[in-house]
Structure 1
């Protein structure tokens, strides 16, 4: 019987040192039994800025690393190149992580073993733990926390920052990341929303942990505000795709914006409450604009 094949895919753009850390963490992790494993690095930079990083590690890496360039700019195009490369390799599972993350030693064992436990045909998503710079206010941690949930929980969607995907999603169902707006955020959310609408289970595995360092320029109110606005636009698109009534969704967004604004006024003397309320207002504004057809350009510039 042939071993199942797993391909860990990393999209990168002008972050060679972060990518090096990601790859080094993969080289030290525990490996699942009786599987074939490879890594694909898709460099979304026509100047091939990540080539040296990969070349430095290839000779001593414990499993094969393939380096390819997707010169057309945009995260969904790089992600689709990952799908194409995985399909060409004939892998059974594609695993996405980001180029600014590093993995827990038991990450892949936990992710893959849980996928097999639930039958091998589910998307499985793990948590990302954000590590903030010491210069950021302590209460900012809550704004970078993802919902932890419980292992086995069914999810309506997930992201590509820590996820295992069975190959039939792209090889048989033909799912692709939407390339029409290559700089938009949330194309991964829409990819998995479509998968869920077509009967694919998306399950959470809290034991499959990866970490990310949050740079100082992200741990700011300006960056968080732009991010929350973009998230609001994506959330509106996701809910509309899932069948939510447009008028009702607009009413909900406006109501949330008003409540957040009033809470902001009340909370002006209190930094934590003021910040939380402002960010909720930004997300609600994004939802309202998303209902009206606005599109995010959050990734027009590479985020270092």
Structure 2
């Protein structure tokens, strides 16, 4: 079986290097030809030397670098898919450049695929521990993010399996799919979503619309490094706003009548938002992130009505 493990990167050299070092420590999956593909989505090849420096540490498979100068996350993902097809690979794996992976990650991911009849599968994401000094609000936000990821993982473990995903969406921070989705079914990541994000959610919806089987691999987690600039109330509010804007624009496009239910939804969410704010001191900060995200949800819905578009991926966070 031939597998391409694709990493998209842009202006995050330290994070990319940490991920590459974790990939170098992977145990080799059984009976697989593995290619690691780094797609730098940038105007110049600033990370090619970093990739070359890791090459001697890779104990199995080969490592490849490609520069995609047409900026946009969906475009870069489609470039990775084209390369996987050009290699004649059976499977394409995505992992983000702000993550690291445990030694058994790839083996468990591929074993899960082999045990399933799904064409697209995902796995959990966990918050990596904080490193270095942080102030109390940053530690509080990290604790909230850690708990949110843990709740999501536990919910997915209850609702999804190797042969069904129910209400669990497969996103590209931990993703394995057949290359035939691109070559035979002609699916693509929607490049209209290059800057807003949500291209992976739409891709998952497109796979489901074809009545193809999707699955969940609970024992193949990845660990996201949460940089300091994401540990603020403002960032989490903005991220939720962008997601809400993109989601509601999609909903309005499919069903314009959704606009008439918005006042009720916003009124309910506003009550929830105020409650979460008041509960922050009572819960010792446990509702801190929920307050930020609920506020962002409301703002995003209202922005979508005014025709706003998310530009989330124009700004790079992390280093």
Same fold (TM > 0.5): yes
Give, in angstroms, the shift of residue 86 of structure 1.
0.7
Asked if 1:41 is matched to 2:38, the reply is: yes
Give, in angstroms, the shift of residue 98 of structure 1.
0.5
Whether contact under 8 Å (2:94, 2:173) holds in the other structure is yes
Describe the superposition over 1:240-259 as per-residue Cα deviations: whole angstroms up to 9, x where unpaired.
Answer: 57769523652454234322
Provide the secondary structure at the position in 2 that maps to 1:137.
helix
Distance 1:101 1:278, change over 3 A: closer
Describe the superposition over 1:122-148 as per-residue Cα deviations: whole angstroms up to 9, x where unpaired.
Answer: 311111111253522336423353311
RMSD of the alignment, in Å? 2.4
Distance 1:249 1:98, change over 3 A: farther
Whether contact under 8 Å (1:189, 1:238) holds in the other structure is no
| Aligned equivalent of 1:13 | 10
Distance 1:56 1:209, change over 3 A: same
In structure 1, runs of 5+ residues without a counterpart are none
Q: How does 1:68-147 map to 2 (within 5 A)?
A: 68-119=66-117, 121-131=118-128, 133=130, 135=134, 136-138=138-140, 140-143=142-145, 145-146=148-149, 147=152
Instruction: Name the CA distance, whole Å, in 2 between partners of 1:263 and 1:272.
Output: 12
In structure 2, runs of 5+ residues without a counterpart are none
The more displaced of 68-77 and 262-271 is: 262-271
Describe the superposition over 1:257-295 as per-residue Cα deviations: whole angstroms up to 9, x where unpaired.
Answer: 322343256447554446533421212331343466432
Provide the secondary structure at the position in 2 that maps to 1:217.
helix
| Aligned equivalent of 2:204 | 192
- Higher share of residues assigned helix: 2
Whether contact under 8 Å (2:109, 2:220) holds in the other structure is yes
Q: Give the alignment's TM-score, normalised by structure 1.
A: 0.89
Asked if 1:281 is matched to 2:279, the reply is: no
The more displaced of 92-101 and 130-139 is: 130-139
Describe the superposition over 1:202-232 as per-residue Cα deviations: whole angstroms up to 9, x where unpaired.
Answer: 3221200111211111111111111111121
Instruction: Name the CA distance, whole Å, in 1 between partners of 2:113 and 2:260.
Output: 37
Distance 1:236 1:203, change over 3 A: farther
Provide the secondary structure at the position in 2 that maps to 1:299.
helix
